[in-house]
Amino acid sequence: MSKAERRDPDSVDDVFGEDHQVLGALLERLRSAIPERSPEALATLEAFTLGLRAHMSWEEELLFPAVFAHATSAQKRSIESLEIDHERLRETLSSLHSSLAAGDFATARTLADWLETLLRGHNYDEEHGVYVEADQYLTEELRRRLIEQFRHASRKPRP
């Protein structure tokens, strides 16, 4: 049985790990377009940004507070660190957008590489921390509601 077949639709870890994969594919598409100086790079960045911002907003507004209410002191510090990561990601996205809009592909390539590095560590921390904690601490009903709110908020199509 494949991982997709074993995916639990009520598991924050499974659903958001899958969203990380979708966003990761968009980021790889972006990173491929930049060295080619492709006009597609900016549109791909905009799609990626839309998806990542929806993902982070959902976490900050709904998931993190729900888990924080049950978390240990160490887990609370981890959530606070994830929120700091989100700020760094937003700043990097903004700089990357400015670079691409100005046609500065050399800087854009460096920023896209940095973005990938940030996300690799950040996603690992979420998938081995707050997502697992959400599945532990939150009721199935609450997880379903949170996941449905995310799906509703992020229904904008991604190329």
pLDDT for the residue 135? 97
Q: Where are the domains of the chain?
A: 9-153
pLDDT for the residue 158? 43
pLDDT tens-digit readout, 20-45 = 999 999 999 999 999 999 989 999 99
pLDDT for the residue 7? 78
* Residue from 118, 130, 133 nearest 78 by CA: 130
CB contact at 8 A, 34 and 41 = yes
Ranges assigned E (strand) in the chain: none
pLDDT tens-digit readout, 43-89 = 999 999 999 999 999 999 999 999 999 999 999 999 999 999 999 99
- CATH classification code of 9-153: 1.20.120.520
